[in-house]
Structure 1
Amino acid sequence: MSSANYTPFQNEGDGNTMQRSAVNAVEHGKPMQRSAVYALEQPALPPYTDVVVTDPTPPIIIRHHTVIPKDYFGLALFVTLCCFLPLGIVALIKSNDVRVRAAHGDQLGAQQASQHAQTFSMIGLGIGVASWAISLVVLIIYIAAVVVAVNEMDVTPQPILENIN
């Protein structure tokens, strides 16, 4: 925009009027008026311009509340320590995989890992309970056999030394 075509508005003046009055006020020891200071900071606006000051809009945060699938960590730990170690370890790995996949946003992978953790935990629990039951039955049979063997023994006292010469 060339300066030859520009004509100032009637309240705009030559642009130096407010600056000169502020400089004169400071030189003569008078306090500057607030409007003079404001005029130094802000350029004059034409009278027909509407200025609307609004607060910036807050950012919109959209959060998807996803449900983290059950990881069966406690069951996997119990199976590892008390039932069947190999399947318990696999169940613990799958249980950890549920948390990792859910943290990365892989809902489908977390669901599958949860199902695998449950499956391995239940199979390990079944094997562990079955082995405990078989062990208990074998122990009962062993104790019964020992009791029967002790009852059938001849327990009459025998002299240790019959003839000492």
Structure 2
Amino acid sequence: MHSAWIACLCCFWPTGLLAILKASEARDALARGHLYGAQSASNQARAMVRISYAVGVISVVAPVVILAVWFGVFTNRFNKSD
């Protein structure tokens, strides 16, 4: 459940929120004794956390790469000695 909160607050909140809901569903199913339901909800929560982390990393790395390329092209134009 803790990683679902981290994914929601620090990465991509839509899938992080789904992860929190699924983790809560898993906890409730386990408390009722539904082992299969708890395992299924837990797997879904884990998948949502992974998606949140991936989107979070991509949303940070992609702009950095784009800016690096843009600055590289921009500064390369002014450094040419034609």
Instruction: Bin the TM-score by the shorter chain.
Output: 0.7 to 0.9
Cα separation, 1, equivalents of 2:65 and 2:53: 18
2:59: which partner in 1?
Answer: 131
Deviation of 1:103 (Å) = 1.0
Counting only pairs closer than 5 Å after superposition, residues 11-160 of structure 1 correspond to structure 2 as 73-144=1-72, 148=75, 152=78
Cα separation, 1, equivalents of 2:67 and 2:8: 23
Cα separation, 1, equivalents of 2:72 and 2:21: 42
Q: How many percent of aligned residue pairs carry the same amino acid?
A: 31
Higher radius of gyration, 1 or 2: 1
Cα separation, 1, equivalents of 2:43 and 2:17: 15
1:111 maps to amino acid: Q
* Pairs aligned (count): 78
Give unmatched runs, 5+ long, in structure 2.
Answer: none
- With normalisation by structure 1, the TM-score equals 0.42
Cα separation, 2, equivalents of 1:142 and 1:83: 25
2:52 maps to amino acid: G
Structure with greater helix share of residues: 2
Give the aligned CA root-mean-square deviation in angstroms: 2.0
1:100 maps to amino acid: D
1:83 maps to amino acid: C
